[in-house]
Structure 1
Amino acid sequence: MGLRYMFFDFDSYFASCEQQLNEELRGRPVGVVPMLADTTCCIAASYEAKRFGVRTGTKVAEARKLCPEIQFKVADHHEYIKFHEQAKAVIENCLHVEAVMSIDEMYGLLPTHWQSVAEVERLTRQVKAALAATIGESITCSIGAGPNLFLAKVASGMRKPDGLKIIETKDLPRALYELKPIDLYGIGPSMEARLKAHGIHTVEQLCALTQEQMRDVWGGIEGLRYYARLRGEDWEGAETQRRTVGHSHVISPDKRSWSSAKAISHRLLQKAALRLRNMGYYAGRLELKVRVMGQGKYKSDCRLGAVQDTRELTGGLNRLWQEIPHEGYPLKVAVTLTDLTTAESVAGSLFPDLLDDPRRSRIDQAMDSLNQKFGSRTVFLGSALGGMSEAPLRIAFSRIPDLKTERD
């Protein structure tokens, strides 16, 4: 079985972008943060910072203790998206990008005549040289190649930073023995604990399991899929339909009042509603979550008909806020639209007030058009007035905002 996939994983991406943008940061420890406050966490760290033990999730105060020379930069998501689009274009010129997995990950399928080790090494040199010439030398990419997507992704993490790892079928499973189970894609802390409960502590022990043992450990067919992936077979799960559209925001210390939290939630809702309409979905349920200092998380939700209309969603959110205790200091707020359906799945006659009133849709379309042309804060409903300076464009783990439609 030849090398069918190449996986591109950009190294410490946010921090590398900052080093490319700011020459004085190159070669120095950098932490990228959502805001300049000791109570927040690093959302990225450069390799220079990682050598001191600073990681994604490290508190700013702790990072300063671990690495007194560290420099903090507030995340600039607009610039990171621009670099991402440039990087994607560079790779596309060398090898077709089959899919983008996240802001810093993408992969391509190798044509039959490019499935040898020599061709993969040639492509790697070509991509790395083009990235350095087009974007800059601070943004590097680790590359993995393998007979399936799973192994190509695993390989991309084995020679970081700026490396290449090729896993051929003939080298399996021994090529994976240097890893720990948690290093494998799809195994997180919970799955690692389950493996240990079954007496599996190494990748060698994992690879020695039979199909039935794997099925038993995973509790179903996913165990069979994992068995196949470890052996280079190309057995991937079916694509799933989007299930949710939402946004969340950590409230800055000077905005931690209930009136601000409510306004910010309406800002999040209006952003989500615009995305919902752009994707052609209708929402059947609305969820509100609020994290409160020292009191944990409050959650409330309500059913909707099949809704795209911002004003109908606003009424639902106002009802949910009536169910949230207004005690303590709100730290984080999240709004999520769920139970999504497409226009083809919605029976308009069942919801005449929502779907068949052209006036509502024309107003939403006019607002969306203005916000996409001039920025998302141009036209908005008054319920978001106190939160419009908050919740700027953010890159989620599995979603890259579209700068054409979601720019601030």
Structure 2
Amino acid sequence: MPDLVRAAQPLRQAGRILPVGVGNNCNTHVRQPEHIACRCHPAFVATFDRPRRTDDFRAVSLRALIIDYNGFFASCEQQERPELRGRPVAVVPVMTESTCVIASSYDARARGIKVGTPVSEARQLCPGIVIIESRPEVYIRYHQKLITAVETCLPITEVWSIDEVWCTLPPDWQNRTDALATSRKIKTAIRLIAGECLTCSIGVAPNAWLAKIASDLEKPDGLVVIESEELPQRLFPLKLRDLPGIGGNMETRLRTAGLDTVEKLYAASVEKLRHIWGGIEGERMWERLRGTEVPLPPKRTSSLGHSHVLPPHLRNLAGAEATLHRLLQKASMRLRASGFYAGGMHLALRLSGHKQWSTAATFTETQDTLELTRIFNLLWVRRPSGTTAIHGVGVTLFDLGTTAGHTAMLPGIVDNGDKRAGLNAALDHINKKLGKNTVVFGGALGALDYAPVRIAFNRIPDLQIEEGDASGDLRPNDDELARFRLAPRVSALSVSAS
């Protein structure tokens, strides 16, 4: 095999060089009938960075394979506890009647119990349902088993969430026969390595977006292939909300523009979709509908945080404050582990009567736990007077960057940054080596017995450095953060004096 073609193989396997239906017309190098493998080809750069727009579906292979684990949290519980198998199961964040279901088994879903169903309603819908408190460490352990199982059959391109992964099929396997065989091997490996209760639905298609749709068409334990020859007609029976990326607001905008079916959406021009979406995302939708794998810009982390529903014994000022201190210390450790500095902090409380209060401040970038604690103390005193019953708390660090503006100190002010950095590094090292909560700052002491892992579906916690991620329900949206950014910055000196 010529060196240039050999060098191109890893790129093909990573999905970076995509089929375009033309050959390599360079006389210097070997001819490749389906892939442009030579940089001498005038279309190489365009193909590498962005797939060619095409309505020739016959030129598009089965590149993407999506694995979606069925009823993941509930399935893990049924695998761990055989007595739960065949019974309706609901998983909740905390054992109280006022909370909501965060996951349910398919037996429970058949009785109308889904994510967000209040526990009291779940008991009415299904008197025999088993309510289980979430055990995130167990789910993370099974997630790691599933990753191992999949990688015995096929490399993983990207982990999308704790219950979903994307794989790119190698060029030689981008056909229906091999794709089906690979999918069945993955199902067998999952059963052998993770257990018989852990099933998955697999979707295979020309791009990951279509493969995601395919994985949702048959649950549980499904296997659906959407081939290029079936497009676009295979999509027409679907509802607009069945398409990834189309939520309630976008559906309203599409209907207002006269696009109330998938067929009409497909027939719309690129220009019209760009106008509806307000930019490049509309063009990306046009491409995805036609089977093109659209490269996305690298994801940028702009915020991180944690939130928790409080158990009854912590639903008071002291319990809420201690829990927030614990969450802030976890977020600070994550911040340093990721190499980020935060320039803003958002604090949120969920009060009785479904009311919510929040505040925020911006400041000179820092990753120091003590500095962030001082800023938290300033925000905490802003809470509404008379606040007593607090049902949930959340803290989010935002305006993340990789450089620390606080290093440029004012003349005459002693910079303790190096000492603080050494202290933070020592604390992180001790907690990693000897276990979480070995050393904490005093504000968190009242909540150490309640610092459970929380798993956001789009992020899997690293149990070595943290106790889990937020449920996300108290995270600020972009509009709220933009409003807080207009306020004057909080200075380190004013925080220290407060």
| Range class of TM-score, shorter chain | over 0.9
Greater CA drift, 272-281 or 382-391: 382-391
2:260 equivalent to 1:201: yes
**Superposed displacement of residue 205, structure 1:** 2.4
**Superposed displacement of residue 356, structure 1:** 6.0
Q: How do 1:100-139 residues align onto structure 2 when only pairs under 5 Å count?
A: 100-139=159-198
Aligned letter for 1:57?
Answer: G
**Superposed displacement of residue 403, structure 1:** 1.8
Aligned letter for 1:151?
Answer: L
Greater CA drift, 290-299 or 112-121: 290-299
2:95 match: secondary structure: coil
Matched-pair contact (CA < 8 Å) for 1:9–1:106: yes
Distance 1:109 1:381, change over 3 A: same
Q: Which residue of 1 aligns with 2:32?
A: none
Q: 2:253 & 2:388 partners in 1: Cα distance?
A: 37
Q: 2:274 & 2:382 partners in 1: Cα distance?
A: 43
Greater CA drift, 319-328 or 32-41: 319-328
Q: 1:75 & 1:193 partners in 2: Cα distance?
A: 35
Show CA shifts across 1:161-195 (max 9, x none): 11111111111111112321111111112222222
Percent identity at matched positions? Answer: 44
Aligned letter for 1:156?
Answer: S
Q: Which residue of 1 aligns with 2:77?
A: 18
Distance 1:255 1:169, change over 3 A: same
Q: 1:369 aligns with which of 429, 450, 458?
A: 429
Q: 1:306 & 1:260 partners in 2: Cα distance?
A: 28
2:315 equivalent to 1:256: yes
Q: 1:253 & 1:134 partners in 2: Cα distance?
A: 39
**Superposed displacement of residue 18, structure 1:** 0.7
Aligned letter for 2:292?
Answer: E
Q: 1:384 aligns with which of 428, 444, 447?
A: 444
Q: Which residue of 1 aligns with 2:275?
A: 216
Q: 2:456 & 2:361 partners in 1: Cα distance?
A: 25
Distance 1:171 1:258, change over 3 A: same
Greater CA drift, 31-40 or 291-300: 291-300
**Superposed displacement of residue 62, structure 1:** 0.6
Q: Which residue of 2 aligns with 1:395?
A: 455
Q: 2:414 & 2:131 partners in 1: Cα distance?
A: 47
Q: 1:391 & 1:180 partners in 2: Cα distance?
A: 41
2:217 match: secondary structure: coil
Matched-pair contact (CA < 8 Å) for 2:64–2:211: yes
Q: 1:262 & 1:8 partners in 2: Cα distance?
A: 40
Q: Which residue of 1 aligns with 2:390?
A: 330
Q: How many residues align?
A: 407
Give the alignment's Cα RMSD to 1 decimal. Answer: 1.8
Q: 2:325 & 2:180 partners in 1: Cα distance?
A: 50
Q: Which residue of 1 aligns with 2:466?
A: 406
Distance 1:355 1:340, change over 3 A: farther
**Superposed displacement of residue 329, structure 1:** 1.5
Q: Which residue of 2 aligns with 1:358?
A: 418
1:376 match: secondary structure: coil
Structure 1: tracts of 5 or more residues without a match: none
Q: 1:234 aligns with which of 285, 289, 293?
A: 293
Distance 1:323 1:295, change over 3 A: farther
Matched-pair contact (CA < 8 Å) for 1:309–1:354: no
Matched-pair contact (CA < 8 Å) for 2:332–2:369: yes
Distance 1:392 1:313, change over 3 A: same
Q: 1:276 & 1:258 partners in 2: Cα distance?
A: 26
Greater CA drift, 285-294 or 198-207: 198-207
Q: 2:194 & 2:321 partners in 1: Cα distance?
A: 41
Aligned letter for 1:204?
Answer: E
Q: Which residue of 1 aligns with 2:482?
A: none
Q: 2:211 & 2:445 partners in 1: Cα distance?
A: 47
Q: 1:285 aligns with which of 344, 347, 359?
A: 344
1:395 match: secondary structure: coil
Q: 1:96 & 1:74 partners in 2: Cα distance?
A: 33
Q: Which residue of 2 aligns with 1:165?
A: 224
Matched-pair contact (CA < 8 Å) for 1:2–1:115: yes
Q: Which residue of 1 aligns with 2:244?
A: 185
Distance 1:380 1:230, change over 3 A: same
Q: Which residue of 1 aligns with 2:485?
A: none
Show CA shifts across 1:239-292 (max 9, x none): 121111100011112211112111111110000000000011111111111121
Q: 2:142 & 2:218 partners in 1: Cα distance?
A: 23
